[in-house]
Amino acid sequence: MKKILFTGSGVAIVTPFTDTGIDFPKLAELIEFQIANDTDALIICGTTGESSTMPDAEHKSAIKFAVDTVAGRIPVIAGTGSNDTHHAIELSQYAQSVGADGLLLVSPYYNKTTQKGLVLHFKMIAEAVNLPIILYNVPSRTGMNIAPASYKELSAIENIVAVKEANASIAQAMETAALCGDDLTLYTGNDDMIVPMLSIGGKGVISVVANILPKQTHDMVTKYLAGDVKGAMDLQLHMFDLINNLFIEVNPIPVKTAMNLMGMQVGKLRMPLCDMSDKNLEVLKNSMVQYGLKLQ
């Protein structure tokens, strides 16, 4: 059985920005908030972190800062995927050099590829580093799906250890689990499917909602894996409306908005992401209040 990078809730942490760059003091504050609330892993420079708007120097500085700030207390997993294989290798090698614990590699977007190309892409990156790799399947953003048969082939590579599955098909996740067994750990990338993914052998979530509910997201996984299925499901269902409304507009627009409404002061979104519509903002506020969160 391959090493499991983490079990529980890994937060896909937002990146707080100023007008000129990353707000590093605020990022440190957010990291400490996550660790204090039992988050099990930190994912830096993912989709929720707006990594697609970061020049390489900034992207690298965020990874190094996260590694240095966490200082070994929980795993730090760096988003280093790209639609350019050689660019992904360069970012991945940098993350390894500064002490990241693992890598999150999204499938190629825009130019896309075939299933054969996917296998070759991930294999080339894996061969260029020694770190454990989590593959990231998010067809709604990339325009392509990693097929279970491709997962099976990739799971034979020693340092490809897991997948963040953000395809809404639980049937596909089940097929992947059946094909790959212990050679590929499953994490859901969808906060509304944490318990369903755990029910087929998943080990946790790479989460957006954990930015505002870190303890509750951690507890959901912990309860389920300890045998308290009802307790986990109660948490999942209680969060359900709020989770839906955190995706009422493109992520991370709503979650950053929610954090600012809670007084966390994480700054603006980077264009082309923009402020929420007034209508959707009211929906989000109402769901936060209904959940029990205090707005400032």
Contact status, residue 139 vs residue 167, Cβ threshold 8 Å: yes
Catalytic residue among 26, 60, 64, 164: 164
Does residue 164 carry a catalytic annotation? yes
C-alpha span between 133 and 280 (Å, rounded): 36
Q: Long-range contacts of range 232-236, CB-CB < 8 Å, 24 or more positions apart?
A: 232/194, 232/195, 232/198, 233/195, 236/192, 236/194, 236/195
Q: How many CB atoms lie within 10 A of CB 7?
A: 16
Look up residue 215 and give its two tokens.
């303890």
C-alpha span between 269 and 90 (Å, rounded): 27
Does residue 109 carry a catalytic annotation? no
Q: What are phi and psi of 167, to 5 degrees?
A: -90, 130
Residue located via tokens 């609330």: 37
Catalytic residue among 26, 60, 136, 224: 136
Catalytic residue numbers, as ranges: 136, 164
